[in-house]
Amino acid sequence: MWFHSLAFAAFLPVVLAGYWVIRQSRLRLAWLLLASYVFYGWWDWRFLGLIVLSSAVDYWVGRQIAATEEPRQRRRWLSLSLASNLGILGLFKYLGFFVESLRSSLAIAGIAIEGPAWNILLPVGISFYTFQTLSYTLDIYRGQLQPTRDPLAFFAFVAFFPQLVAGPIERAQRLLPQFLASRSFDRGQAVRGLRLMLYGFFKKLVIADGLARWVDPLFEQAEAVPGLWLWLAALGFSLQIYADFSAYSDIAVGVARLFGFELMTNFRAPYGARSLRAFWSRWHISLSTWFRDYVYIPLGGNRRRHERNLLITFVLSGLWHGANWTFVLWGAVHGTAYVLEQRWRSLGRLGTLLVVLLAWVLFRAESLSQALEVYAGMAGMGIGWLGSPPATLVLPSQAEGIYLLASLGLFLLLEQLRYRPVLRDSWAHLSRPWRWASYYALGGWILLFAAYEAPQQFIYFQF
C-alpha cells in the first residue's frame, strides 16, 4: 500500500478516525497495531509472520538480557537476537547474491557449478524494521535501555505503519515511550503533519516522478546518449533520489503526527553540505547514525584504526541498500573519499556535490557494466560530448519539460523556506489566509502534474 495510492487514501481516514474515537489506551494501541499489520500485509500477507517473529524474539530476548548479569549468558542472548534478525535478512536479501557471486568467481577460475537460480521475493521494508528492532536488544545489552514489559507497545513500535517500510529507522529509547504514554488530539500537531505531508507529495509526485521520466530513458540507453546529456541525467537522479526519499520521510513524519507521534528528522538539506562528513550528517540520518552507533564505534571508532573502521562501515552501508556490487562500490567510493577528505582538507560544496553525484551513478545503475557505460559517456568516450539523444529514445513532451522546470524552481524556493531561518520566520508571519491559499495552490499544482502519468513506486521500497 503506497502512500500515494487510492488504497491508502481510504485506509488512513478509517484508521485515524478509529484511533481517536477509541478512548481506552490499550484498545487504541491494539487498533493501531492491527492497522499496521493490515498495512504491511497489503503487499503480501505471508510476510507478516516475519515481522511478528522478529518482534517476539527481540521482546523476549530483551527481557532475558536484562534479567541476568552474567556476561557470557548476556552475550548468548544477544547472539540469538543477532542470529535471528540478521539470519532472516540474509536469507531473503543476500543469500542469492552471495551464491551467484561465488559461482561467478569459480567460473573465472574454470570451475563451473550448476544449480537453480535463487529467486526469492524480498519482503518489503525488511531492512528497515530489522534494524529498528535489533537496536532495541543492542541498547538493552549496553545498559542504555530497560526492557519494556508491555508486549503490545513493543509490537506496535516495531510495526508502526507510517515508518515501517522505508523509515526513518527509530530507536526504542525515543519512540517506544510514546507508545506507552497516553495522548490526546493536538490540532496544531495535526496541522503541521498535514503540511509536511503536502510537501512530501509535491516532492514525490511532481519532482521525483517528473525527473524519473527523463532520467530513466537516458540511463537505459546510456551507450547511445551524448556525454552532456548523461551529466544531466546524473544531476537529475541526484535531485530525484533526494526528492523521492525525503518525500517518504516527510509523509511518514506527517502521518505519525496525525496520531500524536513525533518521528525523527531524516534529512537536513544534504546538498548544501561543504564536506562529506557534513553530507552524511544530513542524509538518511536515521541510517547513518545507526551505523555509527552499532558498527563504527564498536569497531573502534576514532580510537584505533579509524580509517579501516570508516571503510568497513561505508561498505556495509552500501550492502544494506541492496544485494548488488554497484551498492557495495557506492559505499566504498564514499568511504574512500571520506578518508581522503580527512587526510587532506574539506572538499568544499562543489567538490562534495561532484563526489556525491558521480557516486549516484553506481547507485542508479542496474549493473557494473551499465555504470561503466555511463561513466565512459560522461567522459566523452561514447558517441561524443555534444549532440542530441537518439530518435529512438522516448522522452517526455516539451510541455512536461517546461512544467518540470517550473516545478524545480518552486522546489528550490520551498527548500529555502524550510531550511533558512530568516525566510521561515517571514513565512510564519504571513496572514493565515495567504498561507492557506498557498497550500491549496500547491495541492492544485500536484493534481495538475499527477494527471500526466501514473505515479511510480518509492525508490527505497526495494531496500
> What pLDDT does residue 287 have?
97
Distance of CA 112 to the CA centre of its chain: 38
* Cell (9 digits) for 110: 574454470
Burial of 179 (0-12, 13-18, 19+ CB in 10 A): buried
Determine the Cα–Cα distance for residues 406 and 445; give it in Å rounded to an integer: 11
Per the residue annotation, which of 4, 321, 334, 429 is the catalytic one?
321
| 334 catalytic per annotation | no
Asked whether 124 and 43 are in contact (CB, 8 A), the reply is yes
* Cell (9 digits) for 101: 557471486
* Cell (9 digits) for 296: 563504527
Which sign does the torsion angle of CA 87, 93, 96, 97 carry?
negative
Q: Which residues contact 398 (CB under 8 A, 6 or more apart)?
A: none
Distance of CA 107 to the CA centre of its chain: 35
For the chain, how many residues are written? 463
**Cα→Cα distances 127→51, 169, 263, 312, 323, Å:** 11, 10, 18, 18, 12
Determine the Cα–Cα distance for residues 336 and 315; give it in Å rounded to an integer: 10
Q: What is the DSSP letter of 207?
A: I
Which of 442, 33, 3 lies closest to 249, judged by CA?
Answer: 3
Place of cell 535531485: 239
Which of 322, 325, 295, 293 lies closest to 311, judged by CA?
Answer: 295
Determine the Cα–Cα distance for residues 150 and 164; give it in Å rounded to an integer: 20
Which of 251, 288, 250, 263 lies closest to 176, judged by CA?
Answer: 263
Which sign does the torsion angle of CA 117, 2, 169, 275 carry?
positive
Asked whether 335 and 310 are in contact (CB, 8 A), the reply is yes
Q: Read off the amino acid at residue 29.
A: L
- Over the chain (463 residues), what is each successive 10-residue block's mean pLDDT? 88 97 94 97 89 96 94 95 94 82 71 69 90 96 95 97 93 95 92 95 94 91 89 96 96 97 96 94 97 95 89 96 93 96 84 96 94 92 77 75 91 88 72 84 86 72 69
- Residue 197 has φ and ψ, to the nearest 5°, of -60, -40
> What pLDDT does residue 463 have?
66
Rg (CA), the chain: 23
Burial of 236 (0-12, 13-18, 19+ CB in 10 A): buried
Question: What are the residue ranges spanned by the domains of the chain?
Answer: 6-184, 185-274+347-463
Q: What is the DSSP letter of 165?
A: T
Long-range contacts of 86-92 (CB under 8 A, 24+ apart): 86/130, 86/134, 88/50, 88/53, 88/54, 88/126, 88/130, 89/126, 89/127, 89/130, 91/120, 92/50, 92/120, 92/121, 92/122, 92/123, 92/126
Asked whether 311 and 339 are in contact (CB, 8 A), the reply is yes
Place of cell 500547491: 442
Longest dimension (CA), the chain: 74
Which of 169, 112, 140 lies closest to 460, judged by CA?
Answer: 169
Asked whether 32 and 261 are in contact (CB, 8 A), the reply is no
Asked whether 160 and 172 are in contact (CB, 8 A), the reply is no
